[in-house]
A and B are shown apart, each in its own frame.
Chain A
Amino acid sequence: MEAESTVRSCSIVLIDDDTVVHFIFGRLISHYCPHITFQCFSSASEVLELLKSKLLSVELIILDVNMPHMNGWAFLSELSRLELSNPVCMLSSSDDSRDVAKAKSFPTVENYFVKPLDREKIEQIIGVLDRIR
């Protein structure tokens, strides 16, 4: 992502360190709901910086859990510490109940999806988006 000083605005931001997930997400969205705008990031801290400096405006964040440097949990904690209330959907390859419970403990988390993404989950994500709008 090149640095821009203008505010970027989109409906959904995906944060995942695996670029294959970016690709899958992008393909599914442009196939099933081409009107939705989105951006993909590999680094949670980069998104946090953009949100903090209000250079990014987003309706819904899709967040991976297991990432190097700053993982999903650290990102959520930082969000709440900074009193940013962007709604979040978790997207993880873990279906461990401890992870699901932990996600629920954050008030900004709307839903928890287990990878892989498919049509049904994309529709659910859009459902969340419609609900919060």
Chain B
Amino acid sequence: MEGTLNILCLEDSTDDFGLINHHLKKANIDYLSRRVESREEFIQALNETTVDIVLSDHSLPQFNSLDALTMVRRNNPGLPFILVTGAVSEEFAVNCLKLGADDYVLKKNLKDLPQVIENAVRARAEESRKARMAADLARRNEELAKLNKELDSFVYSVSHNLRAPLRSVLGLLNLTRMEEDMETIRSYHDLMEKSIRKLDENLAEILDYSRNCAQELKIEQVDIEAVTMDTFEKLMFMPGFDKLEKVTSFDQRIPYHGDSYRLSVILNNLISNAVKYRDLKKTKQVLRIEAVVHKNELRLEISDNGIGIQDGQLPKLFRMFSRATDQSEGVGLGLYIVKEAVDVLKGEISVASKAGEGTTFTLRIPNYD
């Protein structure tokens, strides 16, 4: 037994209480005992003090051990309860055990009490340990079931998204077989390339996603401007990138500390979205990036005057496999990955958009100084 055992004695006889204490002391039990003799005192002691075990006499004026036991079992099913009584019938004792008492000791055998207490406390501790483990197991099972379901839908969607461009390539291959004209066949090659690039982009997104999940945060000083320029360089060959006018401003008078990989994932996805969804009807297509480093956070605003997002699509924008427009070429992982990366950084992201006018993403990411 660990620590001091808090014993609550329901006992109207001070002599018997003295005897109980005598036997406990003799057995070197580390304990504190308190005697109560009325229903009110008993309830108050249970509610307001720490009680590790109840020792209950059978018959008291206006109260008896069965009432006490019922009360304890209703409110605290795991609390050890031992009947300590004068003479009761065997039948009564068995009945008490059936109702949930841990054990009983006759007053003429009080020398056995320390051992009975020890056994009861140990059994109860074991029981509660098992209950905790069972609850823990149930919780983990639930988590795993949820993960499994997510994985299932992930695999379903991903395989579908990977197969679609592959099937297009197969279809184009079929077409080339019925063509003789070299010019036409070349145009099929261009379309195949388009599909293969799409497939490659999908794979890159999935890889980003899994790396974001697996990789630990790596905190270092990050030059936001350099990460942005790197991202620009990576996207240089994306169709339409050169058409986009970039307006950037970086205020890094306070140095930013964070995870440059996550930051580049975020920038890469948001900037390539601005390229993909630029509004061809507008004469000037503009991307604005504004970064200000504060002592406690980085504030990043990325806005464009692209096609915008329809109101109804905004709430599910960051969900896995959500694709907001019919023009969408991706699998619907990009903004989900952004959200995941922002979550890993313990930051916040919000979006404001109007169809036909443009979209603004606002991010607040802690400065891990």
Contacts and interface: CB of A to CB of B under 8 A. Distances in A.
Interface of A: 17-18, 20-21, 23-24, 27-28, 31, 42-43, 45-46, 66-69, 93-94, 96, 114-119
B164 interface: yes
Contact of B174 (A43, A45, A116): A116
A28 B171 CA distance: 10
B168 A66 contact: no
A66 B178 contact: no
A45 B326 CA distance: 9
Contacts of B263: none
A27 B187 CA distance: 12
A117 B163 CA distance: 14
A28 B179 CA distance: 11
B323 A68 contact: yes
B202 to A, nearest CB: 12
B148 interface: no
Given A66-B160, A68-B332, A69-B325, A20 B194 contact: yes
Given A42-B326, A68-B324, A69-B323, A20 B163 contact: no
20 contacts: A18-B164, A18-B168, A20-B171, A20-B172, A20-B194, A24-B171, A24-B172, A24-B174, A66-B160, A67-B326, A68-B332, A69-B313, A69-B323, A69-B325, A93-B164, A96-B156, A115-B171, A116-B168, A116-B174, A117-B174
Q: Is the interface of B mostly helix, strand, loop or mixed?
A: helix
Contacts of B327: 42
Interface residues of B, number: 26
Interface string B173-214: 011001000000000000100110000000000000000000
Nearest to A24: B171
B269 interface: no
Contacts of B191: 20, 23
Contacts of B175: 24, 27-28
Contacts of A119: 174, 178
Contacts, number: 70
B161 interface: yes
Given A18-B168, A46-B326, A69-B325, 4 more contacts: A20-B194, A114-B167, A115-B163, A118-B171
Nearest to A32: B178
Contact of B167 (A28, A67, A96, A116): A116
A116 B328 contact: no
A113 to B, nearest CB: 11
B325 A93 contact: no
Task: Name which of B171, B172, B313 has the most chain A CB atoms within 10 A of its CB.
Answer: B171
Contacts of B313: 69
A45 B310 CA distance: 14
Task: Name which of A24, A28, A117 has the most chain B CB atoms within 10 A of its CB.
Answer: A24
Contacts of A67: 326
Given A20-B172, A20-B195, A28-B175, A66 B164 contact: yes
